[in-house]
Structure 1
Amino acid sequence: MTKAEKVQFVIDTLEEIYPNPPIALEHQDPYTLLVAVALSAQTTDKKVNEITPRLFAVADSPKKMANLEVEEIKNLIQGIGLTNSKAKNLKIMAEQLIHDFDGIVPNDIQKLETLAGVGHKTASVVMAQAFGVPAFPVDTHIHRLMWRWNLSNGKNVVQTEIDAKRLFPKQLWNKLHLQIIWYGREYSPARGYRLEKDIITQKIGRKSFVDEVKG
């Protein structure tokens, strides 16, 4: 198969399996999505969804979050990885939103990246899922699968994002981001991997990886 044929196979297969992929993190608006994504670093989406209801019951806006003490935020997000640093960042982020953006989450990736605790991936997720702006956030699942499918060299997430944006049509980026994440979780996980279940890797996968799994 040519690379173009492999890309089309990925698109067609994912569309068949996940025609309407949901956003895993529960949220109500751009701010609560921003907070949820920031909390998800080194933490599962499931754990974030367990924590955020009690957090958002108290602080579902920048103003309410900024009014809390760091220790109060820390208590509300107990159970999340990196609790101390995330609690501090949530308070600073809220204060930044109030002072710099009139309490509104900016629809601009560069501005989002100026916020405490917000890196490129978090900003990209918010742009894609809150504002519908084409982006291709690369998480561990996408990074892993792009390498397994021999669509990226896997050196780093920056290169993986460049490759994904180059190979896939821009109008599909936001949906494919979600589709690949769900596929990675359900069909091509890092642990408990079974090649017979991973229909895409069987068809287009990197030979060295497939041979290693078979071996």
Structure 2
Amino acid sequence: MKISVLIADDNSFIREGMRIILNTFEEFEVLATVGDGREAVDYCKEHEVDVALLDVRMPNMNGVEATRLLVEETKTKPLILTTFDDDEYILDAIRYGAKGYLLKNNDPERICDAIKSVYHGHNVLQNVILDKLKSSLGESRIPPAPPINAALFTERELDVMSRIAKGLSNKEISKELFISEGTVANYITSILNKTALEHRTQIAIYYLTGRTR
């Protein structure tokens, strides 16, 4: 069964090039290419689309607003394709439920792997994007006393959250806290359950800003 994909980008060269590339992989079926977020949302409401590749800056409706509507009104999983010029949109896109945030200059195999990962329920965020996110918030925004409801969490959960916000992997967290990776994963699951968040990037944003949306 092929993964059905929609491509939304106001640059016809990019969207048609992406369509040609994806169609060379037998795992994908590009159902449509559109030029703005509104067209993307309308199409996904009328058709069963597994993953929508969304540019950020588009006329009529940008990729961030399209992400919000796709998550609220369809079963399509949004994957943002971006450039470094779109830094200010990262936070909102993730808060609205984007399943991935990927740079356009990746090679085709990397983008295809990201689509498959998102389709299978995983979240994709390049380290370089996470670094940009941390930079835009400022390292000083990682406070000793976070602006969150600390009483909701155990001391160890707060330790894990602070290290997620610093960009550490589960393996790195386990080494710092002298606990197993499985225990780290259990703490993350507990944090997600308490906050109704979906993945570790949202945990980082919550810890840094005190907001889940």
Q: TM-score, structure 1 length as denominator? A: 0.28
Structure whose CA Rg is larger: 1
Higher percent of residues as helix: 1
